[in-house]
Chain A
Amino acid sequence: MKWFSTYIKEMKIASRGFYFYVEIVIAVIVLIILLVAVKEYPESKAKEYIYYDMPAEMMEQVMEKEILEGNIRVLEDTELTLKPTSFELLDKETGKSEAYDFMEEKSIMAKTYEVINQETGLVSQTVYIFDQKEDMIRLSNSTGNMGASIISDSSGTLSYEYYIQGYETDRFSEVLYILHTFVTDDIEERMNQQTIREIGGTERLNSRESVIPVYIAFSGALMGFFIIMSYVFLDKSEGVIKAFAVTPSSVWSYLLSKTFVILTTVLISSSIVVIPIMKLKPNYLLFYLFLGVSSFAFSSLGLLVASFFDSISKAFGVLYLIMIAFMLPAFSYYISSFDPFWMQFLPTYPILEGFKGIMKGEADVSYVLLYSLVFFLGGVILLAFANMKFKKTLTV
């Protein structure tokens, strides 16, 4: 049990240092930010600019109907600033361009409505209604939000003009075209006849909860990787690793104790954030098992990388590149349509997936256990390699 007494000694040293408390302070700050600033169900920031090319009474009728049906909510008129700008507008059908040039800044008042999602009751977008079509086009260009004109002919038939930015996919344009081919009532009637079958879990993480897997993965595993390297370089510079050559304690117990110092810090800082936010929703047994083995594997990787360099400056490039690569699965986590096959080979991918399942309270236990085993075995192998490397060189 030499490693345990080394671990106790290391913990005592760590608890006297600045870093240990920084971890706890950061966890508390993150917790406060999540509780105070991040809403569980935030309102959408999406905006759309609309110009109604129809008699005022007709437009009022349309809006009143929407208000009565609970689809929109009236807000106070908004003052919008139109900056000087110039641009060209391409008609996608004819291929003809029209140039617009606005030299003066201008302020206008726009009627403002919030569009309500009937299922969730949340605001799905804010709509601004313009008196001048030119103002709508100008603001759509400068802000990057979509603009639209809704035009009524003398018979009351509606047609639509969409003002898109140009970087949208062709599929997006095709959807806009196809959505206006039939009367809405026809579509709604047929939609109600569609058969829908759900085959999986229905639980979703809200906005606040969905931050937790990312926080744990990056603060725990990745920072564990970074910090253990810093610990080792500090000990190298102070000759601690050399000293192990003349003590009865082995390098192995030194490395293991360092790993356990990181594990302890990660367990404390993660618990500070996870427990108050998630309460009793997750399976904590699975959570702590997965957190422990994933942090262990990343700490072992940190030890192995550290064994190849003699200062943090020299290891910096490798350290930084590894950390950036391991951060990439966060894109897949937040943008579900971006899920390339190769991404699944990055270890942070199953970590994010595993923690997401655990946080939802409906984790695929076999998935979590399988990856726990993979991370445990991977960690042991990496630690064994690091041990061999440190034993061989003692100083490098």
Chain B
Amino acid sequence: MLNRIIRIFRKDAKIAIRDAMLLYIIIIPILLAVGILLFAPGIIDTSLKVAMLETDAKEHIEYMENYMQVELFSSLDEVEKRVLKRDDVAAIIPLEEGYEIVLEGNEDAYIASSMETLNVLYELGATKENTTAEIYSFEKTVPPLKTKLVNMLILMVIMLAGMIISLGIVEEKADNTVSAMNVSPVSQNEFIIGKSILGGSVALGSIIISLLILGYYDINWIMIILVGMTTMILTFVVGFLQGISSTDVIEAAAGVKMMLLPIAGSIVGYELLSEKWQWTMYWSPFYWSYKANDEILSKTAVWSDVLLYAVIVFAISISLYFLAMPKIRKGLSKS
């Protein structure tokens, strides 16, 4: 049995290498990880931005640079053009007496009040030396937004593996290789396991490489692998179901779009719903997977919680597997 599973795995690996599919599954997450590494500092630095005139007093510009990202312009016209651009940038312009704050008008309220406060503090000559505040730091280096992006990347890789199974089966059906499998000694279970091993191992490998690139060396790897594997069971079942029930590539593509809904919905629900409404997402295994990864990546996870999340994801996945099994078997027999 093991031999036959390995043979299917090797056949799929050969096809995947020939079609460059394997390369895509490995390279795409790594490229995305590099993208996160490059873009994350820009995304994470949410300091206020202010437009100022080059002709403004040097000490005024330097003072503001301590607290905001300052952009300098040579004329008032250019400053106003900058303020009118799509992002929330206000301007501080020197008048004959005092300063004027220029806003577009649709900024968040805190932007205007922050500009006013900082400019008043400058006018009052406030310096750090007079402060009554002390700051203590936990010295964490990974910002939560980076963790969220990485968490989304993990779900995306898992979904990618499911998508590839789905599209692969549709193409195998078109090539009649599934029918050929039916008259070979390979059982349907061996076929399913053999096809899943490739997607699963490559996806897991991509996740590990991506996490290493992104600097997550000291997370609990066993927890990440456990949650990744339980979530993958679900995407593979869905991938098989979509592949079997789709008569052509259009239907498989529609299935992919349908699968995006619970994944995106789970992330949005976890991030945006208030605590009293989080229960509305408990049905989704992707919610539990995202929650578990969030805690693991932020190094706040404890084994009891992670095991609970993994059991929930596994229970939902395995229930769906048993529910879907007759349909998958029927689909494979008919193909």
Contact = CB atoms under 8 A, between A and B. Distances in A.
Interface of A: 17-19, 22-23, 26, 29, 33, 37-38, 42-43, 45, 83-85, 87-93, 117, 119-120, 140-144, 157-167, 169, 171-182, 186-187, 190-191, 193-204, 223, 226-227, 230-231, 233-234, 237, 311-314, 316-317, 320-321, 324, 328, 331-332, 335-340, 353, 356
Nearest to A147: B136
Given A191-B117, A199-B104, A200-B83, A171 B137 contact: no
B308 interface: no
A338 B32 CA distance: 18
Given A43-B274, A172-B47, A179-B117, A336 B137 contact: no
B78 interface: no
B141 A19 contact: no
Contacts of A231: 250
B24 A317 contact: yes
Question: Which of B84, B100, B139 counts the most A-chain CB atoms under 10 A from its CB?
Answer: B139
Interface in B133-180: 133-144, 160, 164, 167-168, 171, 174
Given A181-B130, A199-B83, A163 B103 contact: no
A301 to B, nearest CB: 16
B80 A33 contact: no
A165 B140 contact: yes
Interface string B95-121: 100111111111001001100111111
A144 B148 CA distance: 13
B66 A171 contact: yes
A226 B253 contact: yes
A91 B136 contact: yes
A312 B249 contact: yes
Given A17-B250, A169-B45, A161 B98 contact: no
Contacts of B164: 316
Chain B interface category by residue count: 35 or more
Contact of B300 (A83, A169, A234): A83
Nearest to A142: B300
Nearest to B246: A18
Contacts of B140: 144, 165-167
Interface in B71-109: 80, 83-88, 95, 98-106, 109
Given A90-B139, A167-B143, A169-B45, A161 B134 contact: yes
Given A187-B117, A317-B23, A335 B43 contact: yes
Contacts of A180: 131-133
A118 B84 CA distance: 26
Interface in B9-40: 19-21, 23-24, 27-28, 31-32, 39
Given A163-B136, A191-B120, A226-B253, A338 B42 contact: yes
Nearest to B16: A313
26 contacts: A22-B257, A22-B258, A26-B261, A37-B280, A83-B300, A92-B136, A162-B136, A177-B128, A178-B128, A179-B121, A182-B126, A186-B124, A187-B121, A191-B113, A191-B120, A195-B95, A195-B98, A196-B103, A199-B84, A201-B105, A237-B249, A312-B253, A313-B168, A337-B45, A338-B43, A340-B39
A178 B109 contact: no
A358 B155 CA distance: 33
Contact of B24 (A117, A186, A316): A316
Contacts of A226: 253
Contacts of B68: 171
A181 B121 contact: yes
Contacts of A195: 95, 98-101
Contacts of B46: 335, 337-338
A194 B95 CA distance: 11
Nearest to B32: A324
B136 to A, nearest CB: 5
Q: Is the interface of A mostly helix, strand, loop or mixed?
A: mixed
A161 B138 contact: no
Contact of A311 (B136, B171, B248): B171
B128 to A, nearest CB: 5
Contact of B20 (A166, A193, A314, A336): A314
Nearest to B45: A169
Contacts of A22: 254-255, 257-258
User: What are the 7 tightest A-B residue pairs by CB atom distance, in nearest-first order?
Assistant: A317-B24, A200-B104, A198-B105, A202-B105, A336-B87, A22-B254, A181-B126
Interface in B238-255: 246, 248-255
B205 interface: no
B54 interface: no
A316 B131 CA distance: 57
Contact of A313 (B27, B136, B167, B257): B167
Contacts of B105: 198-202
Interface in B44-65: 44-49
Nearest to B143: A167
Nearest to A226: B253
Nearest to A232: B249
Contact of A29 (B23, B87, B142, B261): B261
B30 to A, nearest CB: 12
B138 A166 contact: yes
Nearest to A318: B24
Given A19-B254, A226-B253, A227-B250, A45 B117 contact: no
> Most A CB atoms within 10 A — which of B124, B167, B253?
B253
Given A195-B101, A223-B257, A19 B250 contact: yes
Given A167-B142, A181-B130, A195-B100, A89 B254 contact: no
B106 A89 contact: no
Contacts of A85: 300
B175 to A, nearest CB: 9
A194 B127 contact: no
